[in-house]
Amino acid sequence: MTAPSGRVVRSRLVVHIHGYQLTAPERFHRRFGRDLATFGQTWSARTETGAIEVLPRQGRWPAEAAGPDWQTQTDYRIIRVDDLIEQGHRRPPMRRVALGIRGLFDFLLDPAILGYFRYGWRYAIFTLAPLAMMLAAVMAGILVGRWLSAPLGSLLATLAGIAVFAAAIAVFSKKLFLFILLEDWAFASVLARRLEPELAGRLDEGRREVHAAVEAGTYDEVLLIGHSLGAVMILHLAEMLLAGLPPAAGSSRTRIALLTIGSSVLKIGLHSAAEPLRRATAAVTASSRLIWADYWSQHDVMNFPYVDPAVAMGLTPVHPTISRKATFRHMISPEALRALRFDFFRKHNLFFHAATRRSEYDYFLFVCGPFFCEDLARSPDGAIAWLDASGALTDSAPGARSPRGA
């Protein structure tokens, strides 16, 4: 692997792919701006988010953060999947349910579900949640139908039972995102086997842009980020990128890093049909051109804590993943974390929100901070000791000047 550079990052290209959530680039941009300002308050940095440019396949904007003795400019890009997800929302409700159930059972009837229980039992329970909701709706309809059969007669009781079933499905969809979960499993079932042409085209477009930036040495660092199911897609992009780069870094000054956060890599990688993802993972862990840092949290039911995804897939990585814990109780206040106790989706999204406390993990330190991803990932305490109260580099920070008096 490449060694820490001993210098700060002045310019960075970030390519981010989010998970299965309908978040338009404009909304992500607004949230990014708010969170970058929060990052500035937490780490005593001046921050600025530029205007967004929305393209058919990407959203992009500039950002900047600076301290007393450092300044980092970020070219931030999202590879869009929101419009692809929206296509699923436009399907008739019964088709959405049917495709979702088929996708879910594709994993429940595969050895993948056994792998979930082995490597992340809470993820296995989460996997069963849509099935539990549907069974609960069916049981509610049956019980109401039976209860009303004597006073109303079989026909009206049956209609009442159907109405209760439909109402339960509607409540589960609104409060617990049942339809979204089912569509996610339908999407995952396809993704396990292949990249659909449109998605493959978007990843290849991103690959071409990153390749050109690396070859030109435009940036100090290129950071590829995948959150949740986006971690699967960013691994495919990394494989495409590596196939077009020489095996040695050569004269390029740009360092490349892969960052997966709240990853669903094993959701796909443990499926018996997921050979494309296992091949991509093998390529990434065999290359010295980039480092792969994987952050997980025991507070999040939608990732696999304490597991190296490559090893869990049965691979023998030449360059093992840097596996790190993101401790949410260090990132936000106890009151804020308690408020998210049963809001699993918002908790899952904490991985790409700014921390309100200085902690060993902060998304915006990776994205807009002055430190290389590898330096942050290899430090057990992140950058806590590297920036002082004023936001200036300390003597222990990578890239800092020689210690005073040396």
What 271-277 contacts at long range (C-beta under 8 Å, 24+ apart), as own/partner pairs, is 271/106, 271/107, 271/110, 271/112, 271/192, 272/110, 272/111, 272/112, 273/110, 273/192, 273/193, 274/192, 274/193, 276/193, 276/194, 276/195, 276/236, 277/192, 277/232, 277/235, 277/236, 277/313
- Going residue by residue through the chain, which has 406 residues, state the pLDDT in tens, using 9 for 90 and above: 333 445 899 999 999 999 998 899 999 999 999 999 999 999 999 999 999 999 999 999 999 999 999 999 999 999 999 999 998 888 888 888 899 999 999 999 999 999 999 999 999 999 999 999 999 999 999 999 889 888 888 888 899 989 999 999 999 988 888 999 999 999 999 999 999 999 999 999 999 999 999 999 999 999 999 999 999 999 999 999 999 998 776 667 899 999 999 999 999 999 999 999 999 999 999 999 999 999 999 999 999 999 999 999 999 999 999 999 999 999 999 999 999 988 999 999 999 999 999 999 999 999 999 999 999 999 999 999 999 999 999 999 997 654 433 3
| Domain limits, the chain | 11-83+221-378, 90-190
Strand (E) or helix (H) holding 58:
strand 58-67
Q: Alpha-carbon distance 181 to 134, whole Å?
A: 12
